[in-house]
Amino acid sequence: MYDDLKRQIVDVFRYIEEKGWNHGRAGNISIYIRKENRVLITPSGVPKSKLKPEEILVLDAEGNVIEGVGKPTIELPMHLAIYKAYDYVNAIIHAHGIYSTTLAIAREPLPALIDEMIIYVGGDIRVAEYAPPGTSELAENIVKALEGRKAAIIANHGLIACGRDLEEATEILGLVERISQAYIFAKLLGKVNLLPKEIVELHGKTFISRLK
Residue 32: count other Cβ atoms within 10 Å of its Cβ: 23
Where does residue 64 rank: exposed (0-12), middle (13-18), buried (19+ CB within 10 A)?
A: exposed
Q: CA 190, CA 81: separation in Å to the nearest integer?
A: 39
Give the number of C-alpha atoms closer than 13 A to the C-alpha of residue 210, restricted to the C-beta side: 18
DSSP 149-208: -SEEEETTTEEEEEESSHHHHHHHHHHHHHHHHHHHHHHHHT---PPPHHHHHHHHHHHH
Contact 104, 157 (CB under 8 A): yes
Check 18, 67, 75, 137 and give the catalytic one: 75
137 a catalytic residue:
no
Q: What angle do CA 41, 61, 63 make, to 5 degrees?
A: 60
Catalytic residue numbers read 75
